[in-house]
């Protein structure tokens, strides 16, 4: 099963957060609206006034709750608002101690329909002690309220918040979208009733990371309608772990899908990761769930699916759960179980769990005996790896009933892993029962013969695929019995190396099986064989000593070291770590002691980046390991990585105060060591949130406050730029601090605070006496002036280039439109020419038969032939006949060309139109001459002046028209020639100057803006 794709809009939310925190915003301080930081006066009205002002602001706004304690009753911060809002809390908000004041509201603080909202910092104390006492006494108590609730919110960031002593739930999301919750602490006593930590339902795109939950119920409760939910870096305990459900409360309910729980630690919790539903019909589902990289520390039920959930154990439903569970992956889950049964998969009898995947499950019963698993109606696969738990193979014991009210009472089918039983030394009787794959009834019928066990196994349809892969159960029985008759000893050649290429010694060392390790070592016949065995590396480059040291098996480490030299003990894995280094990283103190006792020089080993084991342990916060290594060699603290950072740098940045204190106590001078950026450990510490570390670093010598990095930034500059208000307050409290020191950019700390738009930082610095560079009257840094000038030029050039691109786009758009107009114009001209040609041909053809005087109709009356024109011998008729014929045949030629030739290319079409137009000019001119010539015959000699007038008028009009058109043709050709020359010059130019822009205007004005031209 692949990890479910969870698409979260983290880019948007992170940009929102950066924008909110960095841009200038209007500040609404609740104290200015009448809030009293005394913890007694009701400040509810003042908070609402401040919120209303911020919500109505057209620009981004910040509601500031300063230091102090503020009392709030039930309050709703309603939206949507006009702009982004940051709710920044520096103090503590408390609820009334009298829980009756909440009534049946269901919530204490509600953010309803807020968008683009950030809740930053602060402590919220619901003071629920009296409410818990009422609950525990069994009195008639109100239902309780949720501390911080978000309803129908979108694009929300919650950071650095601490919620204490909630009545029901610390933080709840209902119907929300795109929410990031990070670095929060949700705290209540482990015995507080029903105090969930983080509750989500009907929400999409939620991220819950880097947080700590200590409470009396679920650390994270995932309800129906939850999709795309990521939980990472969670520290849970005490509490009931991470729970999906309970579902099947109703028949019609939404499901849960695309949930990932990763890189988290569960300490002393009742459950680890749990999926629970009531035994009722339901349309709900749970699918695409991924549990990976989890550490269990003394957890009662590390892995659990419970589809018969009924916590009260009274009046429990007896139906089958309708919730369909599918595609659930458990990968790399390790640690200790407080109960022997570490995995319990109790699925619905009518809806089996499908697509269950197990990989690298390493859970050990904390009393030293092997952990077991328990499953019913679960279909899936075991991908192997270092899976020390029982697998999903169909080797089961059938229990008498599946009607129990809780997981502890359920009598279901328990999966058993054969190899684990052999490796752990189970009795032969149990091995026969488990390894043979037979089904044995547990209550009163354990002694049933083995031949009767095969039939129930065939009835387990959920594992039919696995059963079909087995060629014969009889063969399996014979092999297992033969295997056990040989004394249960596993031959080395049958041990699978697995995907990591582990040898049997690797597996024994990793699992802490001292007996197995000793057996393998003693089985070597000579020194060379032993050396080869101990130095053998798997695919990751890890030796058996590395595997034992990584997992903290000190006894195994001690045994292997007895037979090993320094060179073999120093072999590095592919990640650059040797056994000593990886033990320091994991904090395995006893293993380190064994290594140092044998080879003290291992303390000086480094990885690929020149990181010592001390540096790695300091980064992880392993104070005992740090003290051990400093005791071994105090000079280790001075060794720096390739980037110049010492162990003190990393410990200060990661917030490990005790480690910092130990390193400084060993050698105070390392506080002045700088890395390649010129930064000291104090520079690193002020980037975090731990004031104590800052005090520890300044205490030996306050002069460290004035050390500047390569950019001239003192620690005060760094803390201000990071927005660390508490750190800035601590720094300005030292008398030795230089409040007005300027970095190489010419900025003081106050300049930086004003740039990032943090009004509270500005206020803190001004109160301490800080000033801006301008107030100090110091000239601006020349380098900064040059940088600003270059920036201005860059922006100007970019602006001009953008305008040039936009102009080019406009020109191309205009050219496209004009080209279309040209095409339409040519088509219209061709169509018009065809019509005119047909018209002239028609007139010219008809004219010869309608001449004045008509034709000779009677041969006997005259000398003319029959049908001969009576004016045929006159000169005007001859002129008419010639020019009328020319007009006719020219027009017919045009019609033939138009109806026969199809021209597609625009250039050819223009040439065709040019030729046709000239022919039509001639046809029009010839038909005009034919008309004028006949006019001399029609008017007679007495009125010949009329014919002369017609000739003058016609000649003037036609000659003027043709002359004007000829002039247009000539001018068009001249302008077109000029434009071609301009284009040629431009194409030959290699300059990309913006001076070409006027040329575009010339082109537009010269060619594209023409309304009319002649062809």
Q: Domain holding 18: CATH number?
A: 2.160.20.10
Q: Give domain status of residue 917, yes or no.
A: yes
* Confidence bin at 893 (pLDDT 50/70/90): confident
Mapped onto helix, strand or coil, the DSSP state of residue 345 is strand
Q: How far apart are CA 571 and CA 531, in angstroms?
A: 13
Q: Residue 189's domain spans which residues?
A: 1-217
Residue identified by tokens 């280094």 is: 581
User: What pLDDT is attached to residue 786?
Assistant: 77
Q: How far apart are CA 411 and CA 880, in angstroms?
A: 122
Q: How far apart are CA 349 and CA 307, in angstroms?
A: 9
Around Cβ 470, how many Cβ atoms within 10 Å?
11
pTM for the predicted model, two decimal places: 0.43
Q: How far apart are CA 160 and CA 98, in angstroms?
A: 27
HSE-up of residue 494 (Cα within 13 Å, Cβ side): 8
The residue among 605, 635, 664 that closes a domain is: 605
Cβ atoms of 80 and 51 closer than 8 Å: no
CA angle at 350 for the pair 346 and 356, rounded to the nearest 5°: 45
Phi-psi label, residue 130: left if phi above 0, alpha if psi -120 to 50, beta otherwise? alpha
User: What pLDDT is attached to residue 181?
Assistant: 96
Q: Give domain status of residue 11, yes or no.
A: yes
User: What pLDDT is attached to residue 634?
Assistant: 86
pLDDT, tens only, 347-373:
988 889 999 999 999 999 988 778 888
* Confidence bin at 684 (pLDDT 50/70/90): very high
Residue 109 phi, psi (nearest 5): -120, 120
Q: How far apart are CA 708 and CA 744, in angstroms?
A: 10
Cβ atoms of 87 and 63 closer than 8 Å: yes
Least confident stretch, 49-58, 421-430, 613-622, 907-916: 421-430
Q: Which of 176-190, 403-417, 958-972 has the highest mean pLDDT?
A: 176-190
Q: Element (H or E) spanning 614, and its range?
A: helix 613-620
Residue identified by tokens 């601090």 is: 737
Q: Which residues pair with 24 in a beta bridge?
A: none
Q: How far apart are CA 645 and CA 666, in angstroms?
A: 17
Show the DSSP H helices in 111-217 as ranges: 129-137
User: What pLDDT is attached to residue 383?
Assistant: 82
**Average pLDDT of the chain to the nearest whole number:** 80
My answer on whether 768 and 678 are in the same domain is no
Residue identified by tokens 């209902």 is: 174
Residues ≥6 apart with Cβ < 8 Å to 53: 28, 33, 61
Mean pLDDT across the stretch 777-787? 68
Instruction: Give the residue with greater pLDDT, 974 vs 543.
Output: 543
Mean pLDDT across the stretch 459-471? 39
Q: Which residues pair with 115 in a beta bridge?
A: 154
Q: Give domain status of residue 665, yes or no.
A: yes
User: What pLDDT is attached to residue 275?
Assistant: 96
CATH of the domain at 591: 1.25.40.20
Choose, from 170, 240, 506, 683, the residue flagged as catalytic.
Answer: 240
Strands 154-159 and 353-365: unpaired
Q: Tokens representing 729? A: 């307050």
Residues ≥6 apart with Cβ < 8 Å to 607: 572, 575, 576, 577, 581, 616
My answer on whether 986 and 916 are in the same domain is yes
Q: Give domain status of residue 414, yes or no.
A: no
For CA atoms 870, 873, 875, 881, the dihedral sign is positive
pLDDT, tens only, 381-424:
888 754 444 434 333 333 333 333 333 333 333 343 333 433 43
My answer on whether 24 and 52 are in the same domain is yes
CA-CA-CA-CA dihedral for 719, 724, 730, 736, to nearest 10: 20
Least confident stretch, 42-56, 488-502, 937-951: 488-502
Least confident stretch, 26-35, 198-207, 653-662, 781-790: 781-790
CA angle at 372 for the pair 366 and 378, rounded to the nearest 5°: 140
Q: Element (H or E) spanning 504, and its range?
A: helix 504-511
My answer on whether 572 and 692 are in the same domain is no
My answer on whether 972 and 823 are in the same domain is yes
User: What pLDDT is attached to residue 880?
Assistant: 82
Instruction: Give the residue with greater pLDDT, 100 vs 258.
Output: 258
The residue among 654, 680, 702 that closes a domain is: 702
Residues ≥6 apart with Cβ < 8 Å to 698: 682, 704, 705, 734
pLDDT, tens only, 195-228:
899 999 999 999 999 999 999 999 999 999 999 9
Mean pLDDT across the stretch 40-56? 94
- Tell which residue, 230, 185, 184, has the closest CA to residue 203: 230
My answer on whether 917 and 977 are in the same domain is yes
- Tell which residue, 305, 436, 455, has the closest CA to residue 379: 305
* Confidence bin at 453 (pLDDT 50/70/90): very low
Least confident stretch, 476-485, 606-615, 744-753, 925-934: 476-485
Residues above pLDDT 90, as percent of the chain: 43
Q: Give domain status of residue 181, yes or no.
A: yes
Residue 965 has pLDDT above 80, yes or no: yes
Q: How far apart are CA 908 and CA 278, in angstroms?
A: 83
My answer on whether 650 and 773 are in the same domain is no
My answer on whether 697 and 775 are in the same domain is no
From residue 337, alpha-carbon distances to 271, 304, 373, 522, 548 in Å are 10, 12, 11, 33, 21
pLDDT, tens only, 79-122:
999 999 999 999 999 999 888 888 888 899 999 999 999 999 99
Residues ≥6 apart with Cβ < 8 Å to 658: 621, 623
Mean pLDDT across the stretch 770-778? 82
Q: How far apart are CA 858 and CA 809, in angstroms?
A: 78
My answer on whether 206 and 196 are in the same domain is yes
Q: Is 581 a catalytic residue?
A: no
Q: Tokens representing 257? A: 């899908």
User: What pLDDT is attached to residue 393?
Assistant: 36
Residues ≥6 apart with Cβ < 8 Å to 502: 510, 538, 547
Q: How far apart are CA 47 and CA 65, in angstroms?
A: 9
Q: Give domain status of residue 815, yes or no.
A: yes
For CA atoms 541, 546, 550, 556, the dihedral sign is positive
Mean pLDDT across the stretch 439-462? 36
Q: Give domain status of residue 330, yes or no.
A: no
Residue 735 has pLDDT above 80, yes or no: yes
Mapped onto helix, strand or coil, the DSSP state of residue 698 is helix
Q: Give domain status of residue 227, yes or no.
A: no
Residue 612 has pLDDT above 70, yes or no: yes
Q: Which residues pair with 222 in a beta bridge?
A: 200, 244
Mean pLDDT across the stretch 271-292? 93
Strands 107-112 and 146-151: parallel
- Is cis: bond before 262, omega within 30 of 0? no
Cβ atoms of 250 and 322 closer than 8 Å: no
Residue identified by tokens 């630690």 is: 265
Residue 707: burial class (beta carbons within 10 Å; 0-12, 13-18, 19+): middle
My answer on whether 984 and 875 are in the same domain is yes
Residue identified by tokens 């031959």 is: 491
The residue among 582, 605, 628 that closes a domain is: 605
User: What pLDDT is attached to residue 862?
Assistant: 54
Q: How far apart are CA 446 and CA 27, in angstroms?
A: 75
Residues above pLDDT 70, as percent of the chain: 80
State the total domains in the chain: 5
Residues ≥6 apart with Cβ < 8 Å to 463: 379, 393, 394
pLDDT, tens only, 424-434:
333 333 333 33
* Confidence bin at 524 (pLDDT 50/70/90): confident
Residue 593 has pLDDT above 60, yes or no: yes
Strands 285-299 and 353-365: unpaired
Cβ atoms of 537 and 543 closer than 8 Å: yes
Instruction: Give the residue with greater pLDDT, 254 vs 444.
Output: 254
Mean pLDDT across the stretch 436-451? 35
Q: How far apart are CA 577 and CA 570, in angstroms?
A: 9
My answer on whether 533 and 648 are in the same domain is no
Residue 802 has pLDDT above 70, yes or no: yes
Stated length of the chain: 1015
Residue identified by tokens 């690298």 is: 360
Residue 494 has pLDDT above 50, yes or no: no
- Tell which residue, 357, 289, 275, 388, has the closest CA to residue 321: 275
User: What pLDDT is attached to residue 451?
Assistant: 37
Residues ≥6 apart with Cβ < 8 Å to 681: 646, 648, 649, 651, 652, 660, 670, 671, 673, 697
Q: How far apart are CA 231 and CA 645, in angstroms?
A: 31
My answer on whether 600 and 744 are in the same domain is no
């Amino acid at each position: 099963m692949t990890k479910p794709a969870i698409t979260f809009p983290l880019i948007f939310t992170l940009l929102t957060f950066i924008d909110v925190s960095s841009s200038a915003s209007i500040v609404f301080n609740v104290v200015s609206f009448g809030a009293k930081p005394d913890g007694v006066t009701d400040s509810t009205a003042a908070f609402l006034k401040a919120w209303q002002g911020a919500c109505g602001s057209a620009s981004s706004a910040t509601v500031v709750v300063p230091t102090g304690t503020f009392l709030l009753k039930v309050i709703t911060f309603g939206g949507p608002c006009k702009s982004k809002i940051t709710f920044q809390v520096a103090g503590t908000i408390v609820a009334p101690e009298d829980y009756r004041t909440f009534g049946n509201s269901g919530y204490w603080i509600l953010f309803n329909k807020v968008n683009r909202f950030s809740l930053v910092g602060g402590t919220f104390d619901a003071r629920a002690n009296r409410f818990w006492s009422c609950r525990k006494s069994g009195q008639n108590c109100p239902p309780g309220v949720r501390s911080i609730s978000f309803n129908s919110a979108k694009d929300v960031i919650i950071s650095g918040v601490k919620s204490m002593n909630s009545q029901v739930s610390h933080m709840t999301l209902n119907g929300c979208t795109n929410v990031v919750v990070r670095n929060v602490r949700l705290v209540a006593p482990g015995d507080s009733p029903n105090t969930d930590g983080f509750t989500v339902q009907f929400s999409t795109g939620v991220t819950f990371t880097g947080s700590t939950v200590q409470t009396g119920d679920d650390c994270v409760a995932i309800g129906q309608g939850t999709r795309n939910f990521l939980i990472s870096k969670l520290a849970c305990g005490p509490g009931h772990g991470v729970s999906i459900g309970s579902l099947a409360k109703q028949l019609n309910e939404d499901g849960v899908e695309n949930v990932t729980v990763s890189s988290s630690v569960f300490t002393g919790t009742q459950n680890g990761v749990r999926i629970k539903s009531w035994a009722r019909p339901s349309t709900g589902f749970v699918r695409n769930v991924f549990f990976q990289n989890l550490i269990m520390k003394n957890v009662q039920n590390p892995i659990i699916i419970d589809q018969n959930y009924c916590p009260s154990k009274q009046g429990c439903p007896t139906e089958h759960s309708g919730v369909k569970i599918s595609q659930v992956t458990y990968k790399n889950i390790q640690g200790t179980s407080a109960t022997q049964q570490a995995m319990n998969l109790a699925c619905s009898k009518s809806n089996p769990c499908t697509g269950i995947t197990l990989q690298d499950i390493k859970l050990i019963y904390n009393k030293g005996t092997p952990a077991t698993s328990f499953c019913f109606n679960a279909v899936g696969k075991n991908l192997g790896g270092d899976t020390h738990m029982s697998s999903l193979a169909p080797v089961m014991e059938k229990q008498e009933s599946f009607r129990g009210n809780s997981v502890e009472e359920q009598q279901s089918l328990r999966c058993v892993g054969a190899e684990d039983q052999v490796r752990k030394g189970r009795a032969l009787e149990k091995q026969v029962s488990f390894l043979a794959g037979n089904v044995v009834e547990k209550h009163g019928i354990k002694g049933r013969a083995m031949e009767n066990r095969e039939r129930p196994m065939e009835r387990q349809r959920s594992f039919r695929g696995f059963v079909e892969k087995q060629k014969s159960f009889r063969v399996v029985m014979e092999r297992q019995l033969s295997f056990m008759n040989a004394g249960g000893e596993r031959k080395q050649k049958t041990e699978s190396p697995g995907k990591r290429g582990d040898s049997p010694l690797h597996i024994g060392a990793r699992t802490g099986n001292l007996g197995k390790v000793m057996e393998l070592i003693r089985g070597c016949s000579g020194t060379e064989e032993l050396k080869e065995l101990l130095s053998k590396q798997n695919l990751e480059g890890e030796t058996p000593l590395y595997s034992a040291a990584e997992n903290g098996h000190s006894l195994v480490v001690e045994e292997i070291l007895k037979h090993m030299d320094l060179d073999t003990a120093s072999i590095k894995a592919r990640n650059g770590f040797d056994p000593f280094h990886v033990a320091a990283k994991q904090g395995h103190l006893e293993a380190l002691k064994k290594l140092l006792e044998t080879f003290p020089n291992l303390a000086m080993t480094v990885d690929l980046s020149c990181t010592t084991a001390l540096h790695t342990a300091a980064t992880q916060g392993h104070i005992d390991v740090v003290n051990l290594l400093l005791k071994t060699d105090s000079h280790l603290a001075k060794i720096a990585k390739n980037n110049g950072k010492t162990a003190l740098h990393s410990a200060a940045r990661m917030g490990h105060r005790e480690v910092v204190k130990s390193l400084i106590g060993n050698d105070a001078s390392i506080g002045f060591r700088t890395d390649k950026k010129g930064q000291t450990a104090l520079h690193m510490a002020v980037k975090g949130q731990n004031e104590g570390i800052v005090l520890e670093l300044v205490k030996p010598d306050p002069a460290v406050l004035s050390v500047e990095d390569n950019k001239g930034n003192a620690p005060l500059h760094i803390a201000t730029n990071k927005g660390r208000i508490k750190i800035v307050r601590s720094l300005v409290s030292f008398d030795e601090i230089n409040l007005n020191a300027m970095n190489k950019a010419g900025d003081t700390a106050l300049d930086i605070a004003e740039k990032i738009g943090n009004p509270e930082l500005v206020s803190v610095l001004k109160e301490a006496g800080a000033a801006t560079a301008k107030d100090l009257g110091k000239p601006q840094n020349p380098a900064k002036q040059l940088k600003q000038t270059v920036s201005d030029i860059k922006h100007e050039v970019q602006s001009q280039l953008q305008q040039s691109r936009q102009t080019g786009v406009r020109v191309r758009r205009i050219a496209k439109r004009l080209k279309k107009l040209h095409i339409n114009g040519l088509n219209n001209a061709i169509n018009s020419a065809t019509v005119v040609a047909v018209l002239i041909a028609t007139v010219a053809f008809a004219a010869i038969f309608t001449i004045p005087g008509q034709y000779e109709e009677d041969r006997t009356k005259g000398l003319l032939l029959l049908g001969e024109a009576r004016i045929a011998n006159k000169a005007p008729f001859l002129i008419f006949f010639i020019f009328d014929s020319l007009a006719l045949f020219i027009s017919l030629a045009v019609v033939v060309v138009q109806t026969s030739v199809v021209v597609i290319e625009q250039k050819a079409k223009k040439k065709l139109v040019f030729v046709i137009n000239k022919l039509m000019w001639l046809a029009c001119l010839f038909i005009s001459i034919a008309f004028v010539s006949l006019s001399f015959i029609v008017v007679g000699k007495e009125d010949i002046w009329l014919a002369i007038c017609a000739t003058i008028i016609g000649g003037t009009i036609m000659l003027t028209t043709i002359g004007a058109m000829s002039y247009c043709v000539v001018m068009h050709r001249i302008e077109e020639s000029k434009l071609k020359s301009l284009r040629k010059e431009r194409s030959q130019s290699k300059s990309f100057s913006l001076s070409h822009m006027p040329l575009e205007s010339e082109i537009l004005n010269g060619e594209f803006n023409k309304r009319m031209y002649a062809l």
